[in-house]
Structure 1
Amino acid sequence: MSQSAELPVSGDVSLPTIPVREFAPWTLFFSLLAVLVIFFVSADQGAISIPSGNAIHEWVHDGRHLLGYPCH
């Protein structure tokens, strides 16, 4: 009972296509995630900050300076 599996020849290789209907939700998800990350990195713990206190500011302090956000 041997089965032979044929490997694709280099001329038969085609790239898979991704339909927009399947790609769009992932694009939206990662875009919103990126906006949320940018918000927390750029938050000055002022009037528009979601959590109170300065914990987020201290956690991302060095990253803020690296990205050029003023914080002092």
Structure 2
Amino acid sequence: MTRTWTDYLWGLALATLVALAVPWFLWRDATTVAGLPVWLWWHVGWMALASATFYGFTRGAWDRWIDAEAIRHG
């Protein structure tokens, strides 16, 4: 199986989503926006971004790293 640039981009998207899921840089920051802490807004936005990324992944790359034909034919 050969790797394409798309494979590497999906890998980078996954690594970015995992690496920035916890906003370490916002810990001990008491800043609030609209009555809620900024770190909570980060999580809301990050979950929206993760959902959009996963939706894109299911539209074109779901079986990218598996051999779907081998699985179907057992």
Alignment TM class, shorter chain as reference: 0.3 to 0.5
Q: Which structure's CA Rg is the greater one?
A: 1
TM-score for both structures, normalised by structure 2: 0.35
TM-score for both structures, normalised by structure 1: 0.35
